[in-house]
Amino acid sequence: MSAGQPRTPHPTLELVGVDDLSSDDRSAIIRLCADAFEEDFTPLFQYLPDSTHVLARLDGELVSHACWVTRSLQPGELRPLRTAYVEAVATAPPHQGRGYGSAVMQRLAAAIGDYELGGLSTGRFSFYERLGWERWPGPLAIRTQHGLLHTPGERVLILRLPRTPPLDPRALLTAEWRPGELW
Ligand X SMILES: CC(C)(COP(=O)(O)OP(=O)(O)OC[C@H]1O[C@@H](n2cnc3c(N)ncnc32)[C@H](O)[C@@H]1OP(=O)(O)O)[C@@H](O)C(=O)NCCC(=O)NCCS
Task: Decide if residue 64 touches ligand X (CB under 6 A).
Answer: yes
Task: Decide if residue 96 touches ligand X (CB under 6 A).
Answer: yes
Single out the segment in contact with ligand X by CB under 6 A; choices: 19-27, 99-107, 111-119, 133-141. 99-107
Q: Considering only residues 30, 36, 62, 140, which one is a binding residue for ligand X as defined by CB under 6 A? A: 36
Single out the segment in contact with ligand X by CB under 6 A; choices: 39-47, 67-75, 125-133, 136-144. 125-133
Round to whole Å and give the CA distance between 31 and 138: 35
Task: Decide if residue 109 touches ligand X (CB under 6 A).
Answer: no
134 burial (CB, 10 Å; 0-12 / 13-18 / 19+) is: middle
Ordered alpha helix ranges (H), the chain:
23-37, 100-111, 125-129
Q: How many residues in the chain?
A: 183
Round to whole Å and give the CA distance between 176 and 143: 5
Residue 6 or 97 with smaller CB distance to ligand X: 97
Q: Kindly list the residues in this chain that would bind ligand X in the complex (CB under 6 A).
A: 8, 36-37, 64, 89-91, 96-102, 122, 124, 126-127, 130
